[in-house]
Amino acid sequence: MPVATPEQYHAMLDSAQKGAYAYPAINVTSIVTINGALKAFADKRSDGIIQVSHGAGKFASGLNVSDMVTGAVVLAEATHRLAEEYDILVALHTDHCQPDKVDSFLKPLIAETARRREAGRPNLFQSHMLDASELPLDQNMALSQDLLKSCAENEIILEVEAGVVGGEEDGVDTSGQSKDKLYTTPDDMLQVYESLQGLGRYMFAATFGNVHGSYKPGVVKLRPEILKNGQEAVIAKYGDDAEFDLVFHGGSGSSLEEIRETLDYGVIKMNIDTDTQYAFTRPIVDHMMKNYDGVLKIDGEVGNKKAYDPRVYLKLAEAAVAERLGQACDDLRSTGNTIFQKA
C-alpha cells in the first residue's frame, strides 16, 4: 500500500528530520505527471510527496466541469491506484490554499477523507496546506488553529506559512508585497509554535527570501540562516522537541549549497513545480519542431500519425519529469532512503 498511512507519513517525516534530508514534493496536473513522479521516486528508491493545487484540480476536472475539488479527488484517486504498483511510499498533499478558498477547497477535501474513514477506507490526502500568509499573523494563526483541529481529527497533517513567498504561482501574484515579508522573523516562528503546539502535527513554510518561478542564479537572495535562527529561538525556549518540520517553497534556481544548507536547519519537504513544468514541456516542443511536417497536415497532406499521436510525445514528457525529479531526490539526499521495507 505505497500511499502512506498516517503512521507511515509520520515515520517518513521523522526519518527525514533525523537523517537531514528532505522529500521532493511535486505538483501534478495529470496522470502523465503522476506517473513521472512515481517513476522518479521508484528509480531513486526515495519516498516522496505528490501534491495538487486548486488550479490543478480545476484543470484536471475538464473544461465543462471546471471544479477544483472534483479534479483534486480524481488526481488523488489515480495516485492511490497507480502507487499500488510501486515499492516506495508517497504521501498526497494539497498545495497553497488561500483563505478565500478554504471553504470551497480545503474543507470539502477534509470532509471527503472523513467520509472515507467512516467507510473503513484510507485517507484521500495525508496533508493539506493553508497559505494564510496574506493575513496578519494573529489572524493567520487563528485560522490555522481551526483547520489544524479539523485535520488532526482525521489524522491529516496541516502545512502552514508565515511570511510571503514572492513571485507568482497558480494565479496568485505576491510580487507587490514588501521585501520584509519575504523573511520570517524568530518572533514570528515563536508565535507559530505557541499558537499551534499540542493541536496536531503540522509543517511550517517559513520564508527566507523564497520566490516562486524560474530565475537565473544570483537573482533570488536566499537567507537560509533565518531558518537556523528561528529554530534556535524556539528550541532555546521550549526544548529540542520543539524543532519545526520546515518546508522550502520557491526553490527554482537555488544553488545546491543553499539547498543542502536548509536541510541542516530542519527542512524536510521542498516543493518542485516550475522546474518540472519546464521538464515536461521541453521534450514536447522539441518533438513538435523536429516533426513539424508530421504533426501538422500541411498543404493538404495527411501528416504522420506516429508523430501526432499524443502518446509519443507525452511519454517523452513523463521521462523528462522523472529525470528532473530524480535530480531533486539526489539534491535533497532522499535517494536510497525509502522506509517502505521498514514500514
Look up the domain containing 318 and give its range.
Answer: 6-331
- Are the C-beta atoms of 303 and 247 separated by less than 8 Å? no
Give 165's pLDDT tier (boundaries 50, 70, 90).
low
Question: What percentage of the chain reaches a pLDDT higher than 90?
Answer: 84
Nearest to 71 by CA among 48, 94, 49: 94
Mean pLDDT for the stretch of residues 207-223: 65
Nearest to 1 by CA among 90, 76, 77: 90
Dist CA 167 CA 211 (whole Å): 5
Given a cut of 70, is residue 164 above it in pLDDT? no
Tell whether 129 is covered by a domain.
Answer: yes
Total tally of structural domains belonging to the chain:
1
Nearest to 210 by CA among 266, 168, 249: 249
Q: What is the mean pLDDT of the chain?
A: 92
Tell whether 230 is covered by a domain.
Answer: yes
- Tell me how crowded residue 85 is: count the other CB atoms within 10 A of its CB: 9
- Are the C-beta atoms of 96 and 169 separated by less than 8 Å? yes
What the block records as the C-alpha cell of 261 is: 544548507
- Which residues does the annotation mark as catalytic? 95
Give 218's pLDDT tier (boundaries 50, 70, 90).
low
Give 226's pLDDT tier (boundaries 50, 70, 90).
very high
Tell whether 341 is covered by a domain.
Answer: no
Tell whether 336 is covered by a domain.
Answer: no
Tell whether 326 is covered by a domain.
Answer: yes
Q: Looking at residue 168, what is its pLDDT?
A: 44
Q: What is residue 202's three-state secondary structure? A: strand
Dist CA 70 CA 106 (whole Å): 12
Q: Looking at residue 1, what is its pLDDT?
A: 62
Mean pLDDT for the stretch of residues 12-17: 98
This prediction has a pTM of 0.92
Give 209's pLDDT tier (boundaries 50, 70, 90).
confident
Mean pLDDT for the stretch of residues 20-34: 98
Tell whether 43 is covered by a domain.
Answer: yes
Tell whether 339 is covered by a domain.
Answer: no
Nearest to 28 by CA among 13, 40, 15, 14: 40
Mean pLDDT for the stretch of residues 141-152: 98
Tell whether 338 is covered by a domain.
Answer: no
What the block records as the C-alpha cell of 98 is: 488561500
Amino acid at 123: N
Given a cut of 70, is residue 342 above it in pLDDT? no
Q: What is the CATH number of the domain that holds 104?
A: 3.20.20.70
- Are the C-beta atoms of 205 and 159 separated by less than 8 Å? yes
